[in-house]
Structure 1
Amino acid sequence: MDRSQSAPRSIAPARPGAPPPPAPAALRLPAPGLSDPARRPAPGLGSRARPRRRRSRGSPAMRPRAAPRAPAAAAATALGLCSLLLLLRPGHACPAGCACTDPHTVDCRDRGLPSVPDPFPLDVRKLLVAGNRIQRIPEDFFIFYGDLVYLDFRNNSLRSLEEGTFSGSAKLAFLDLSYNNLTQLGAGAFRSAGRLVKLSLANNHLAGVHEAAFETLESLQVLELNDNNLRGLSVAALAALPALRTLRLDGNPWLCDCDFAHLFSWMQENESKLPKGLDEIQCSLPMENRRVFLHELSEASFSECKFSLSLTDLFIIIFSGVAVSIAAIISSFFLATVVQCFQRCAPNKDTEDEDEDEDD
């Protein structure tokens, strides 16, 4: 028998133009989701077409859903970064009612604000908040905005500077606190602001400045204390400013007493640092009840103060006197004890001498 005649009809080539033979019943697959075992394809020809598809599903490199996951994750990451950049970009966090004129400048002048607006761009360098009603600077303000270089705080209602207010202000160079309601400057009021170049405290109500108020301000060149209520100022406060070039002291009710003598001597030696010299600075004479310009005074005007003692000198003298008195009392008690012991021992010696004479 010829092998071509014995071959199965299912694999015989179709004649041209002839209709395709009907598919055998074994190749009819059930619809998806049918679980009737009677309608499942019988094992044979129908099961030979599925092994490759199963191997492709099991292959890690050929999984149909693995490829789209990487682009989706990358797209989500990129979207998150873009959102973060939009939130942090200069000008995006510009406070309501303020103007961000350039990427590093925020202008909130004359807005009637009761407090420092927030938030600012994190990289703000120049902040203008003059002409508002702000009463305090937040303690952590410079911690968040450490890049700030210029702060215009004029014409507000600032009453005091809390300790640590300027912590984190390492880059601050220009600070204008004029036309506020400050009354006192405590020790280390501007600590951590070591790069300050200009500090204006003019037109406040300052009545006292601690001698350590300006410590650490080694770069300060301009200090404005004019038009306050200062009656005296410690020279030690000015000695902490080695780079000082300009000092405004006019417009204060200075009192020409013996405490002012040291400041007057400093002014004479550093008159070049006073923009208006001694001609525009006045002080009150306590005995004459009148005001005079400092250029009318001289060292002889304070000659009576050369023999006066300061409070520290008086304390030293009193302490020394008390110490000497205590030492004298102790010494007297010791001498009295020695004399008393000597007197007690002396009669015994006289008695022994008399007994020896009687024996002889």
Structure 2
Amino acid sequence: MCHLNFQEEIYIFHLKDTSPGMSHVAWPLISPVVEQIFDFPGLSPSTQNTMAVNSYRAVTQRPHICLQNSFHQILLAWGIKMTFGVPLLPFLFLLFSAPLAKGCPVLCSCWDRVVDCSGKHLFSVPLGLPLDIHNLTLAHNRLTSIPSGYLSCHMELRFLDLRNNSLSSLPDGLFLNLKKLVLLDLSHNNLTQVTAAMMQPAHSLVRINLSHNYHLTRIHSSTLRGMMQLQDLDLRFSGFSSLSYEVLEGLPSLISLQLSGNPWVCGCAMEPLLKWLRNSIKGCIIGSQEAECAAPPEVKGVPLMSLTEESFKACQFSLTLDDYLFIAFVGFVVSIASVATNFLLGITANCCHRWSKASEEEEI
């Protein structure tokens, strides 16, 4: 593919800036198509411009259609169909044999289906990723968000490295089409929680690194559900004071769980998790031996895994918040019933007194 000349580049940027609804998601999909249009032989500039606009409309109207290596060819054919009003099928046979447009984003390095954009001080995700990449590294940048649908068409992606950025959350469904993703590194970010909508359906993941997210205090119980192949979960140096065992109970392949560096509160609420850990992954490599209790004061600094059933013996006789709420509710109901009973007794006594007095007056 030849390089675009100056006038063609000006037009592409004009198309990107002036077309209604242009998004960061649509542009990396349509830019290779526009380049192929300008390389298409025998087309006048006005026809090329019309085809580019129509191809762009095709991708914005169908943002979730990805047919692997045929995607750009289909969009190009669709632009031809909308421009000339001719059937789509003949152009598909012609264009399927054309090589998929492959390029490397600006500032990134690319080789053997690997795209490395690490340490480039990026404030936004790079555009124009090759569709067949296996490894994408965006580490050590200044990313604060990932556009929804950014990875929708990169179905061959195996490794995604997003560590050391400023991400506070991920868009729902980011991994929707990533059936082959095995490694996800989100360490050293600003995540506050990890929800099921953010992570599903990344069921092929083998390793997840969520360490060094100091504001991360919660993982929803259904977040990791269905990840039957997950072997390594790293939660070190985050903000966890507790963790529900329900987060882990659907992970039959789990052999490494990193828990150190968190402010664990080793109260009665911790007992179910420790009991599950002992019963469920006994004999496996557990990277949680260095985890220590941060509270209450009497067990501060005590290794988490050294706590036994004897450590929680007092919990059998202690009251939980639910217990206190139930007692308060019962007390409130009893007090209301007591007031109502006294009121009824007072009315009854008053009626009896009046009736007795009336009877005495009649006798007189």
Structure 2 length-normalised TM: 0.61
Worse-matched range after superposition: 219-228 or 77-86: 77-86
1:332 corresponds to: 342
Contact (CA 8 Å) 2:185, 2:208: kept in 1 or not? Answer: yes
Question: Contact between 1:156 and 1:180, CA under 8 Å: does it hold in 2?
Answer: yes
**In 2 relative to 1, CA 279–135 (structure 1 residues): closer, same or farther, beyond 3 Å?**
same
Q: Using the alignment, how far apart are the partners of 1:229 and 1:236 within structure 2?
A: 17
Alpha-carbon shift at residue 202 of structure 1 (Å): 4.1
Deviation at 1:279, TM superposition (A): 3.8
What is aligned with 1:292? 302
Contact 2:151 2:175 in 1 (8 A): yes
Aligned-residue identity in percent: 19
Q: Which moved more, 1:237-246 or 1:307-316?
A: 237-246
Aligned to 1:60: none
Match of 1:258 among 268, 288, 312: 268
Partner of residue 325 from structure 2, selected from 306, 310, 315: 315
For the residue of structure 2 that corresponds to 1:176, the secondary structure is strand
Q: CA RMSD in A?
A: 3.9
Q: Measure how far apart 1:107 and its partner are.
A: 1.6
User: Does the residue aligned with 1:232 lie in a helix, a strand or coil?
Assistant: coil
Q: Which runs of 4+ in 1 moved over 6 A?
A: 75-80
Counterpart-to-counterpart distance in 2, 1:336 and 1:172: 77
Tell me what 2:127 maps to. 118
> Which residue of structure 2 aligns with residue 52 of structure 1?
none
**What is the CA-CA distance between 1:118 and the residue it aligns to?**
1.0
Q: Match for 2:115 among 103, 107, 123?
A: 107
**Deviation string for 1:320-347 (max 9, x for gaps)?**
3223322332233233223322322232
Q: What residue number does 1:238 align with?
A: 247
Report the CA distance shift for 1:229/1:179 in structure 2 as closer, same or farther (over 3 A): closer
Give the partner amino acid of 1:92. K
Matched, 1:174 2:175: no
CA distance in 2, matches of 1:168, 1:202: 19
Which runs of no fewer than 5 residues in structure 2 stay unpaired? Answer: 1-83
Higher RCO (C-alpha 8 Å, min separation 6): 2
Check if 1:248 corresponds to 2:257.
yes
Query: With structure 1 as the length reference, what TM-score do the two structures score?
Result: 0.62
Q: Specify the alignment match of 2:35 in structure 1.
A: none
- Specify whether residues 144 and 163 from structure 1 end up closer, same or farther in structure 2 by C-alpha distance, changes over 3 A only: closer
Per-residue CA distance 1:202-235 (angstroms, 9 max, x = gap) = 4322444435264363224235234223442232
8 A Cα contact 2:160 2:184, kept in partner = yes
Offset, 1:108: 1.8
CA distance in 1 between counterparts of 2:248 and 2:346 reads 54
Give yes or no for contact 2:260–2:288 (8 Å, CA) kept in 1.
no
- Does 2:311 align with 1:275? no
Structure 1 residue 217 corresponds to structure 2 residue 222: no
Q: Which runs of 5+ in 1 are unaligned?
A: 1-72, 356-360
What amino acid is aligned across from residue 201 of structure 2 in structure 1? A
> Quick one: which amino acid aligns to residue 303 of structure 1?
K
Give the aligned partner of residue 145 of structure 1. 153
TM-aligned CA deviation for residue 133 of structure 1: 0.2
1:141-170: per-residue Cα shift (whole Å, max 9, x none)?
A: 356326254242243314311452526346
**1:316, distance to aligned residue in structure 2 (A):** 2.7
**Alignment partner, residue 12 of structure 1:** none
Pairs aligned (count): 278
